Amino acid sequence: MSRPLRIEYDNAFYHVMNRGRGRENIFLNDNDFEYFLHCIEQASLRFNIEVHSYCLMANHYHLLIKTPDANLGRAMKHINGLYTQYFNRTHNTDGALFRGRYKAVLVDADNYLLHVSRYIHRNPIETSTPLVEELVKYKWSSYSTFIRRVATPKWLVRDFIFSLQSKKRKYAAYKQFLEFENNKEISAFYSAKKLLSVLGCEDFIENIKDYIAKSDSERKLVAKKHSADDVIAYLVQHFNVEVDEIITVKKGRKEKNLPRWFAIKLWQDLSGLNLQVLADIYNVQHYSAISKTVGRLNTLMVEDKKVKLQYEKLRNGLMSEVKI
């Protein structure tokens, strides 16, 4: 049987889910839940994904994700792989933890995203035996942050879903919306024996069909055609610095070396090279230094929108120079 088609494009929304192999539990204690959230945070920083809702159940999880960079596969591989390694190490097990590849439903944001968020958040009480009497009492979902009962993680994005309600009292309005059961269309969609890969109106589905029909050269990013020298030369010219400023580690340096940080992240995001190759290019002994550098830049982009905008402009400018 062929695998379901993965539809990836910039700024797409997905309802992502997976469950334990043989329906076994994938979360055995609070530490497990917390580490999975840590994996989500790391993926949001490294791959620039936006998490708009989540719910972690004992033997499965639900995530509502936006991918500004059309990289859902890479982000989910990181989350599932990192968590599986942790689980096997912590609980003295081995082998696959999940039943297989994650399931991803491409969502028509304008018409269905608010309903999908409700479906995700209502999971703890929509089971045959409800886990809690009130949704707010369930600890491992993002619902409590949506109604301001707990602090919101930096990586969780709520404002877009709030904007779909078109109401000023956004927290109260969302709480009221969650009190209603999922509508019949949503319930029918998720109860189908074979879950479809797209949830959307007719126009949205037709547009997706047109997109799939395009050739690979029209759909795929071609940034891999850049060499390391291309990236470095591009940033040297943009920042008017010497090559040594980018490729050489400056010991004892305290200020942020943004040209170097941007160069490393651009290559990690666009080239597909493994971390050790990048470590060799940028003259560090261990690949962990590459991850730490990208992590610092990702954190800085969360804290400073100007830096994030600067990176996006550099990325778009570099990609526009590719000749197909």
8 Å CB contact between 69 and 221: no
Q: Is the pLDDT of residue 121 over 80?
A: yes
The amino acid at 314: L
The amino acid at 250: K
Mean pLDDT value across residues 4-13: 82
159 lies in a domain?
yes
Tokens linked to 100:
């297989």
Q: What is the pLDDT of residue 271?
A: 60
Length of the chain: 324
22 lies in a domain?
yes
Q: What is the pLDDT of residue 57?
A: 97
Kindly write down the DSSP assignment for every residue of 66-134, as one continuous string.
EETTS-HHHHHHHHHHHHHHHHHHHHT--S--BSSSPEEEEE-HHHHHHHHHHHHHTGGGSSSS-S-SS
Question: Are residues 236 and 199 both part of a single domain?
Answer: no
Among 197, 217, 237, the domain boundary falls at 217
Query: How would residue 124 be classed by pLDDT, with cut points 50, 70 and 90?
Result: very high
Q: What is the pLDDT of residue 224?
A: 42
Question: Are residues 152 and 235 both part of a single domain?
Answer: no
Q: Is the pLDDT of residue 135 over 90?
A: yes
The torsion defined by the Cα of 42, 50, 135 and 178, in degrees rounded to 10, comes to 180
Q: What is the mean pLDDT of the chain?
A: 86
39 CB neighbour count, 10 Å cutoff: 18
Q: What is the pLDDT of residue 216?
A: 56
Q: Which residue has the tokens 């962990």?
A: 288
88 lies in a domain?
yes
229 lies in a domain?
yes
Question: Are residues 48 and 116 both part of a single domain?
Answer: yes
β-strand 60-67 against 12-19: which pairing, if any? antiparallel
Among 217, 238, 255, the domain boundary falls at 217
Question: Are residues 127 and 94 both part of a single domain?
Answer: yes
Considering only 99-113, 140-154, 247-261, which range has the smallest mean pLDDT? 247-261
Q: What is the pLDDT of residue 118?
A: 97
Question: Are residues 72 and 116 both part of a single domain?
Answer: yes
Question: Are residues 16 and 127 both part of a single domain?
Answer: yes
Q: What is the pLDDT of residue 97?
A: 96
Give the chain's domain count: 2
Q: What is the pLDDT of residues 193-251, one digit of tens each?
A: 889 999 999 889 988 888 777 655 444 433 344 566 778 888 888 888 888 888 877 66
Q: Which residue has the tokens 């059961």?
A: 181
The torsion defined by the Cα of 268, 273, 276 and 277, in degrees rounded to 10, comes to -110
1 lies in a domain?
no
Radius of gyration over every alpha carbon of the chain, rounded to an integer in angstroms: 21
Question: Are residues 169 and 310 both part of a single domain?
Answer: no
Q: What is the pLDDT of residue 241?
A: 87
Distance CA 254, CA 79 (A): 32
Count Cβ neighbours within 10 Å for each residue of 164-191 and write b for 16 or more, e otherwise: beeeeebeeebbebbeeebeeebeebbe
Q: Is the pLDDT of residue 73 over 60?
A: yes
Kindly write down the DSSP assignment for every residue of 14-62, as one continuous string.
EEEEEEBGGG--S--SHHHHHHHHHHHHHHHHHH--EEEEEEE-SSEEE
Instruction: Provide the residue range defining the domain that includes 229.
Output: 223-320
CATH of the domain at 310: 1.10.1750.10
Question: Are residues 185 and 50 both part of a single domain?
Answer: yes
Question: Are residues 111 and 193 both part of a single domain?
Answer: yes
Count Cβ neighbours within 10 Å for each residue of 197-210 and write b for 16 or more, e otherwise: eebbeeebeeebee
Q: What is the pLDDT of residue 212?
A: 79
235 CB neighbour count, 10 Å cutoff: 22
Q: What is the pLDDT of residue 270?
A: 67
Q: What is the pLDDT of residue 225?
A: 45
Question: Are residues 28 and 94 both part of a single domain?
Answer: yes
Q: What is the pLDDT of residue 150?
A: 93
Question: Are residues 56 and 107 both part of a single domain?
Answer: yes
pTM of the model: 0.70
CATH of the domain at 99: 3.30.70.1290
Q: What is the pLDDT of residues 26-57, one digit of tens each?
A: 999 999 999 999 999 999 988 989 999 999 99
Q: What is the pLDDT of residues 264-304, one digit of tens each?
A: 888 766 665 556 666 777 777 666 677 778 778 888 888 88
Among 168, 189, 217, the domain boundary falls at 217
The rounded percent of the chain whose pLDDT value lies above 90 is 50
